[in-house]
A = this chain, B = another copy of it.
Amino acid sequence: MPETLLDRRTRLLGPNVRLFYHDPLHLVRGKGTWVWDAAGRRYLDCYNNVPHVGHCHPHVVEAITRQAQTLNTHTRYLHENILDYVERLTATFGPQITSAILTCTGSEANDVALRMAQAATGATGIIATDHTYHGNTAAVSQLSTTMPPIGGFGGHVRHVPAPDSYRPLGGSPQTHATAFAAAVEAACQSLIASGHGVSGLILCPAFVNEGFPDLAHGFLTEAIAIVRRHGGVIIADEVQPGFGRTGPQFWGHVGAGFAPDIVTMGKPMGNGHPVAAVATSFEIISAFRRAFRYFNTFGGNPVSCAAAAAVLDVLKAENLPARAAETGAYLRDGLRKLAEKHSVIGDVRGQGLAIGAELVSDRASKAPATELADRVINAMRAEGVLMGANGIHYNVLKIRPPMPFGKVEADIVLQTLDKVLDGL
């Protein structure tokens, strides 16, 4: 019997490497918000945020091709692409963010950001939520709460409860923000007592892995003030909400109502080309450059910068952030109408095209329907619509499509979800 694609994958890539869906997809082609499998079947992509301006966008492909034909080298030589790009990128932030280091992955960006916070403060303690993911390097993996690394956790991380707007601490948005701030204060005190000190707080401003909670503008104000009072800096991990996904405010932290000291970004930045960045103030980048010798051979090469610049071009030319806000609102409205019919949808939330629909087995107790969420995403896949499930209880349907997603595509999601929920 010939070796299956799955067996071959295990042999070559190792065991326990997760694939999406019980019946994994073998994709061969993508265009806009659609992908095709090897049998020629088309699927609506409601999940992938990496092909940000659409799968295989011709403007991005052309920019990559043109620069790859011309020159691709490192930043020990002068080149205008990286400077032009960092100029355009930093112009999208508040005045405190002026400079950037380009890397190849969001993990590398967060690995640098943690050291920037150390260089800026002289401390090593760091605070994150207890249901987050910031990347895969050894240092960044220390922020995880699962799977203790060999040699153990370093003792310099404190976790605070991931915000859950559907089950707010203390029962209301006000008590929730205060309780969150109290947890941050306790984490700071613990880091000070342990001698690590407070280098900062790292969070995704839209808490995407935590299940897209709907938090009041200013929810984080008190917590952030506490971190700063203890000398720490604020790192906004914009790998998921950044580049207009939440709407014309462009960055998740604008929607959340705070100004970070350090911003990291990755996935959508080059529409799939491996490019990522850490942006910060001139003061913090200088402290980092003094404390650490950092050079990234591929980081900021002319091709990566051309890809990233092309993504900014398309976002503007096609007015995608405004479209994301509009389509997202339309889709959330539709999901709320579906919730009137299907009591399993306990909560609908999110911003722009980062949308969560939380499934519960009982609305009164809000008991998470985790197993059901898994069945739903697999049934949706069978119907040709690709989405995921995440959140604290892994029961939140995750809809995070490429940005050209429009009302036509939203209607397909709504009709298909209605059919799938009817069939359960």
Residues of A102-144 contacting chain B, CB below 8 A? 104-108, 111, 114-115, 118-119, 122, 124, 136-139, 141
For the complex, give the distance between the alpha carbons of A27 and B29 in Å.
Answer: 35
Whole-angstrom CA separation of A108 from B122 in the bound complex: 25
**Whole-angstrom CA separation of A147 from B288 in the bound complex:** 12
Count of residues in A whose CB is under 8 Å from the partner chain? 104
Given A78-B6, A99-B13, A111-B138 in contact, is the A105-B65 Cβ separation under 8 Å? no
Contact mask for chain A residues 71-112; partner B; CB cutoff 8 A; 1 contact, 0 none: 111111111101100110010000000111100111110010
Q: Do residues A25 and B78 form an inter-chain contact, with CB atoms below 8 A? A: yes
Any B CB within 8 A of the CB of A40: no
Which residues does chain B contribute within 8 Å of A5, judged by CB atoms?
78, 80, 83
Q: Which residue of B lies closest to A71 (CB)?
A: B30
* A56:B69 contact, CB within 8 angstroms: yes
Q: How far is the CA of A118 from the CA of B141 in the complex (A)?
A: 15
- Beta-carbon contact of B137 and A105 below 8 Å: no
Which residues of B are found within 8 Å of A267, using beta-carbon distances?
297
B297 touches A27 (CB 8 A): no
- A41 in the interface (beta carbon within 8 A): no
Which of B12, B70, B273 lies in contact with A100, CB distance below 8 A? Answer: B12
A378 contacts chain B at the CB level, 8 A cutoff: no
**Residue numbers in B under 8 Å from A73 (CB-CB):** 27, 30, 35, 48, 50-51, 55, 272
In the complex, A138 Cα to B26 Cα: how many Å? 35
- Stretch in A14-22, A176-184, A255-263 touching the partner: A14-22
A16 to B119, CA, bound (A): 15
Q: What are the interface flags for A131-162 relative to B under an 8 Å C-beta threshold, 1 for contact and 0 otherwise? A: 00000111101000011011100001000000
* Listed A/B pairs (20) with beta-carbon separation below 8 Å: A5-B78, A5-B80, A12-B98, A13-B82, A13-B86, A13-B100, A14-B288, A26-B79, A27-B71, A30-B71, A30-B72, A64-B68, A72-B271, A105-B299, A137-B138, A137-B139, A141-B292, A151-B156, A273-B274, A274-B274
